[in-house]
Amino acid sequence: MAKKQVVSATINGNATEFLCEPRQTLLEALRDNLDLTGTKEGCSNGNCGACTVLLDGHPVVSCLVLAMEAEGAEVTTIEGIAPSEGLDPIQQAFLENAALQCGICTPGFIVATKALLDTNPSPTENEVRFALANNLCRCTGYDKIVRAVLDAAERRKASV
Amino acid sequence: MATVEQDLATAGSNGSGPKKYKVIGTRPIRHDGVDKVTGRAQYGADIRLTGMLAGVVLRSPHAHAKILSIDVSKALALPGVRAVVTNADLSDPGDRMCELGEGAVNLRHLNHNIFAKDKALYRGHAIAAVAADNIHIAEQATKLIDVKYELLAPVVDVVAAMQPGAPLLHADVYTDDLGEKSAQPSNVARHFRFEQGDIAKGFAQAACIIEREFHTATVHQGYIEPQNATAFWSADGQITVWTSTQGSFSVRQQVAELVGAPISRVKVIPTEIGGGFGGKIRVYLEPVAAALSKKTGRPVQVLMSRADVFEGTGPTPGSFIKVKLGVDAHGMIVAGEASLAYEAGAYPGSPVGPGAMCIFSCYNVPNGRVDGYDVCVNKPQTSAYRAPGATNAAFAMETVVDEVCQQLDLDPLEFRRRNAAKEGVRRVDGPVYPKVGLVETIEACQRSEHWNTPLEGPNRGRGVASGFWFNCGLRSSCSATVNPDGTVALVEGSTDIGGSRTGIAMQLAETLGIAATDVVPTVGDTDSVGYTDVTGGSRVTFATGWAAYLAALDIQQQLCARAADEWDVPAEAVTYAEGGVNGPEGRRFSFAEIAAKVNAHGDPVVGRGSADPQHCGGAFATHIVDVEVDPELGKVKVLRYTAAQDVGTAIHPAYVEGQIQGGVVQGIGWGLNEEYFYDVKGVMRNSTFLDYRIPTCLDLPMIDALIVEVPNPGHPYGVRGVGEVPIVPPPAALANAIAQAIGIRMTQLPMSPPRIVHEILKKNV
């Protein structure tokens, strides 16, 4: 077993140092080394999107990123989406549109939605569906998720 | 504190006339919502306990093999490994049946499914498990376990498994053939029959008879959260289990039986659950974690990988179905005959029973016969999946109905309306329908904008199909404590997969005349709430909602007594109405006012509700779908989808729509994409979400849910079950749409691009 390494990264806005084994994924380090269990594991091979986080603003499936690759990076997880008080408009839109059932895919969808709306503030329905096609949901049939994302875009514009 | 008015302010319309209720029919934000959009909700794999070890299960690489020996010595010698367990570490519960709420299991088979005993019966069958300091060491250790196998020929197809001379899974399974035991052991565990009328006479009256054969592939529930279990076996013999499950009491019972402990020694704490759809009722990892914890004295968490989920947990069966339907010159069904053979997987117990009961369930079939066969194959033991057995059956029957309509030039919705099951109609398997809403769902489709908008363009077609599911009642419990700030703390026993705690809380709120947000619901563990059956059978809003209604009535009674005391009037002079207690001469306390007094003196007010309601209303749905088929690639694009469903009363319409939309999309996946691929060795070759492709949002249009409300007279608020029936019609509706689009009748699921291209090429030869 290779020696543990120190990784320095900014996680949810906080300068953070953590120890990890070279073989650990970012997903594993977030959940097991940093107790950020909001990021979910659904498949561990990049197919389901439940573990989506932002790495320097880009959405990545954290199960396909090694923890050591986060050195020097900014990582945003579901725990870092909401402001210190209240909720992000995306979160509010998911709640009010009943866009979750079991909720296991929700953190990944919300993080992926943030990445979408940060780059495309006014997506069409088809652009939403294209951008979120890497995130699997088995409960909702996606109807209310897509509506929530379109609603979140409106809310973000209204709050600017 | 919120008000009922605020709840109403955020409510949408459920489209059903004047409002009878204040809370029911509104759309409040679910109570567990904020935790779930911020990542705080704790699911099974999120449990972290001091000193916790990681467990990994070693699984059979072979589909069918005798286990000659298991040597764990090298694994145990690896630094960081704390324990290894096998079947020898489980208790043998004997050859007994155990009812799990949505189907019974044989406990000996369940024991052998947790860890193979003498034979591995499918690729992925658990053999042993390791607990180690971390998951990587545990994984490494499983590779050091030396298992000697003697390979046997596998059989993974239901038709092949029924043939004489097929590889035999069990030496001790004989066919229960219409009540007679077969002379020889067989893969066919059961053959049963339902009959009514005289089918020979019926078919003699037919102007049109269609007889077809259908095959459907094995598919998986596909919940996004893999199975998980965390257990701690304390030195005093108390076993605590944290797990994401559809039924904590069912887990308690199974764990107790499998580790040989009294149920009172097992406490199950249900975590949030990341989807189940029937697949999280049977236990897999819970007894393993408990056995590893017993050996190590430390808490142990065992998680499944996605491949483990596909290869080691219950899919729903592949099947072979024959349907023959006779219709007279007036377009009325005169006779039906069907035969259904379902894969049980490694052990007997497929849902062929409900499949056989459902196959003619949408129609008045005066003369009918249905034969069912439960068949063991070298695949994982099948589990319930949303209306288990019904979707396979509906695919066959609804396709034949469509072909009859085509031949007789009848409108498919009008044919269904005229032949529909309704109050008083006797199903082929015996029961006579009470008031049901199939006709209303058909009429809702006939009135819909979708049906009345012509579909144009080449390679496009429109299909319809109906479906039925029984729903069930079963037992539920809750308790509800009145807080002095005018709220109620509700503890209920149904694990919440899709927002049910809010639907239950709303029924309590309605009964007390308070706002949904003034009820704080919690899903209790097995030591803190009364016995509650599984979250399954579309029963929770119906039966646990009923328990909450009873708890509210109990609170009403206690508050009336309290008010009578305050006012010094006889108890019978006080009534509960309009959200408060009302006494003689206009005396009144609102709920909040009387609640403020309850802890000042006298007994705390705690309502109790326990229910075993019998009159669940059956659920019917009728769907319309438009598709476009790419004739070169065989790909089917879903253009538009409308699903009408009788829900009784929609308690929370947004989550009712969500159940319908989610069920439809699972049905679309089943119809168009999903299947287990096996190689000649019986090894599944697509055990990832990349290769076992469930629908993504890019594959789909919006799903229009038409909520039809024909209140169930057997429930105080008219609730029927909602969750299961929406998966039933989609594969058939898609097949009928494809037939209209390209003139080809698909008789095999999934109707995937290669199969469609194959049929197109065959037709063009």
Which chain B residues are Cβ-neighbours of A38 within 8 angstroms? 38-40
Q: Minimal Cα distance from B140: which residue of A? A: A1
What element of type H or E holds B316? Answer: none
Instruction: Over range B374-396, report the average pLDDT.
Output: 97
B179: left (phi over 0), alpha (psi -120 to 50) or beta: left
Q: Residue B263: is it exposed, middle or buried by C-beta count within 10 angstroms (0-12/13-18/19+)?
A: middle
CA nearest to B222 within chain A = A138
**pLDDT tier at B377 (50, 70, 90 boundaries)?**
very high
Least confident of A102-106, B23-27, B60-64, B470-474: B470-474
Interface test with A, best of B541, B697, B703 (most A CBs within 10 A): B697
Radius of gyration of chain B (CA): 27
Q: What does the pLDDT read at residue B5?
A: 36
What number is the average pLDDT over the span B71-82? 98
CB contact under 8 A, B38 and A104: no
The pLDDT confidence band at residue B764, using thresholds 50, 70 and 90, is confident
Catalytic residue at B403?
no
Q: Starting at the edge strand that comes first in sequence, how are the strands of the sheet with A5-11 ordered?
A: A14-20, A5-11, A74-76, A52-55, A58-61
Neighbouring residues of A153: CB distance < 8 A, sequence distance ≥ 6 = A117, A121, A122, A123
A11 touches chain B (CB under 8 A): no
Average pLDDT over residues B344-369: 98
The pLDDT of residue B105? 85
Task: State the amino acid at position B75 in one-letter form.
Answer: A
Using the Cβ of A141 and the Cβ atoms of chain B, whether some distance falls under 8 Å is answered with: yes
Beta strand pairing status for B188-196 and B174-177?
parallel
Q: At what angle do helices B412-419 and B438-447 cross, to 10 degrees?
A: 160
Q: Closest CB to B497: pick one of A102, A133, A143.
A: A102
- Residue B180 sits at φ, ψ, to 5 deg, of -100, 140
Q: Which of B29, B35, B37 to mutate to test the interface with A (most CBs of A within 10 A)?
A: B37
Q: Which two tokens stand for residue B275?
A: 């989807």
Amino acid at A130: F
Query: Which is nearest to A13 in space by CA: A61, A97, A73?
Result: A73
What is the arithmetic mean of pLDDT over B10-25? 62
List b or e across B130-143, with b for residues whose CB sees 16 or more CB atoms inside 10 angstroms: bbbeebbbbebbbe
CB B726 within 8 Å of CB B662: yes
State how far the Cα of B260 lies from the Cα of B270, in Å rounded to an integer: 21
Instruction: With residue A128 as reference, give the H or E element that holds it.
Output: helix A125-131
Q: Describe the strand order of the beta sheet including B228-233 as a list of residue ranges.
A: B81-86, B126-132, B53-59, B300-303, B228-233, B239-243, B266-270
Q: Binning pLDDT at 50, 70 and 90, where does residue B98 land?
A: confident
8 Å CB contact of A141 and B690: no
Task: Give me the torsion for CA of B339, B343, B344, B346, rounded to 10°.
Answer: 150
CA distances from residue B679 to B157, B315, B342, B751 in whole angstroms, order as listed? 12, 17, 20, 20
Res B133 pLDDT > 90: yes
pLDDT at residue B10 is higher than 60: no
SS (H, E, C) B479-516: EEEECCCCCEEEEECCCCCCCHHHHHHHHHHHHHCCCH
Cα–Cα distance measured from residue B695 to residue B277, given in angstroms and rounded to the nearest whole number? 16
Active-site pick, B102, B337, B492, B724: B724
Measured distance CA(B448)–CA(B466) in Å, rounded = 15
Q: What is the ipTM of this complex?
A: 0.98
Q: What percent of chain B has pLDDT over 90?
A: 94
Nearest by CB to A138, from B10, B36, B222: name it.
B222
d(CA A73, CA A69) in angstroms, rounded, equals 8
Sequence-separated (6 or more) residues with CB below 8 Å from residue B401: B325, B363, B412, B415, B416
What does the pLDDT look like over B403-436, one tens digit per residue?
999 999 999 999 999 999 999 999 999 999 999 9
- Interchain pair B694, A43: CB under 8 A: no
* pLDDT score of B705 more than 60: yes
Domains and CATH numbers, chain A: 5-80 (3.10.20.30), 89-159 (1.10.150.120)
From B652, B662, B660, select the one nearest B619 (Cα to Cα): B660
B/e letters for A81-90, b = 16+ CB within 10 Å, e = fewer, are bbeeeebbbb
- The pair of structure tokens assigned to B372 is 């069912």
User: Which residue in chain A is spatially nearest to B500 when comparing CA positions?
Assistant: A101
**Which residues, including other chains, have CB under 8 Å from residue B150's CB and lie 6 or more apart?**
B65, B66, B68
What is the C-alpha to C-alpha distance for residues A50 and A106, in angstroms, rounded to an integer? 8
- What was the pLDDT predicted at B609? 98
- Here the tokens at position A42 are 């659904």
Amino acid identity at B730? P
Residues of B in contact with A98 (CB under 8 A): 27, 30, 499, 654-655, 657-658
Of B30, B41, B688, the CB nearest to A43: B688
CA distances from B73 to B76, B84, B128, B143 (A): 5, 9, 13, 12
Report the C-alpha gap between B524 and A43 in whole angstroms. Answer: 29
Q: B12: how many CB neighbours lie within 10 A of its CB?
A: 12
- Given a cut of 80, whether residue B16 has pLDDT beyond it is no
* Residue B8 in this model has a pLDDT that exceeds 70: no
| Residue A87 touches chain B, beta carbons under 8 Å | yes
Structural contact between residues B402 and B739, judged by C-beta atoms closer than 8 angstroms: yes
d(CA B315, CA B391): 14
Mean pLDDT value of segment B179-201: 98
**Has residue B14 got a pLDDT over 50?**
no
Q: What is the pLDDT of residue A2?
A: 77
| C-alpha distances out from residue B497 to A31, B32, B246, B501, Å | 23, 11, 8, 9
Chain A nearest-CA residue for B306: A43
Q: How far is B702 from chain A (nearest CA, A)?
A: 5
The pLDDT of residue B4: 36
pLDDT of amino acid B520: 98
Interface check A71 vs B, CB under 8 A: no
pLDDT attached to residue B601? 81
pLDDT band at B99 (very low <50, low <70, confident <90, very high): confident
pLDDT, chain A, mean = 97
> pLDDT at position B602, please?
84
CB contact under 8 A, B657 and A129: no
Tell me if chain B has a CB within 8 Å of the CB of A25.
no
Write down the pLDDT at residue B530: 97
Q: How confident is the model at residue B617 (pLDDT cuts 50, 70, 90)?
A: confident
CB-closest option in B36, B225, B273 to A100: B36
B657/A contact by beta carbon, under 8 A? yes
- Please state the rounded mean pLDDT for residues B182-188: 97
Looking at beta carbons, which residues of chain A come within 8 Å of B40? 38
Strand ranges for B198-349 from DSSP E? 208-216, 228-233, 239-243, 266-270, 300-303, 319-327, 333-345
Q: What is the pLDDT of residue B324?
A: 98
**Model confidence pLDDT, tens digit, residues B544-603:** 999 999 999 999 999 999 999 999 999 999 999 999 999 999 999 999 999 999 988 889
Q: What is the pLDDT of residue B102?
A: 64
Which two three-digit tokens encode residue B598?
A: 């309850």
Q: Do B39 and A36 touch (CB under 8 A)?
A: yes
CA distances (Å), B648 to each of B411, B502, B620, B720, in order?
Answer: 27, 18, 10, 5
The total number of residues shown for chain B amounts to: 765
- In the predicted model, what is the mean pLDDT of chain B? 95
Closest-CA distance, A72 to chain B, in angstroms, reads 24
* DSSP-based three-state secondary structure for B742: helix
Cα gap B44→B228, rounded to integer Å: 6
Structural domains of chain B in order of their starting residue, each with its CATH number: 4-30+473-611 (3.30.365.10), 45-152+231-260+278-298 (3.90.1170.50), 435-470+617-764 (3.30.365.10)
CB contact at 8 A, B187 and B377: yes
Q: How confident is the model at residue B17 (pLDDT cuts 50, 70, 90)?
A: very low
* Bond into B653 cis (ω within 30): no
Give the closest of B42, B224, B272 to A138, CB-based.
B224
**Which B residues, 197 through 236, put their C-beta within 8 Å of a C-beta on chain A?**
221-226
Chain B, window 239-278: residues with a beta carbon less than 8 angstroms from a chain A beta carbon: 272-277
Instruction: Report the pLDDT value the prediction gives residue B364, as an integer from 0 to 100.
Output: 98
Q: What confidence tens digit (pLDDT) does each residue in B490-543 have? A: 999 999 999 999 999 999 999 999 999 999 999 999 999 999 999 999 999 999
- Given a contact cutoff of 8 angstroms between Cβ atoms, the answer to whether B734 and B668 are in contact is yes
Residue of B nearest to A39 (CA): B39
B524: which 2 tokens?
A: 């209790």
Decide if B162 contacts B373 (C-beta within 8 A). yes
B210 has pLDDT over 90: yes
**In whole angstroms, what is the distance from residue B472 CA to residue B460 CA?**
38
Q: What percent of chain A has pLDDT over 70?
A: 99
- How far does the CA of residue A44 sit from the closest CA of chain B (Å)? 8
| Coil vs helix vs strand at B624 | strand
In this complex, which of A91, A104, A134 lies closest to B224 when CB atoms are compared?
Answer: A104
What H or E segment, with its residue span, contains residue B30? none
Arithmetic mean of pLDDT, B163-189 = 97
Residue of B nearest to A110 (CA): B37
B183 in contact with A, Cβ within 8 Å: no
Q: Is A103 on the interface with B (CB under 8 A)?
A: yes
Which tokens hold the place of A75?
A: 């990582």
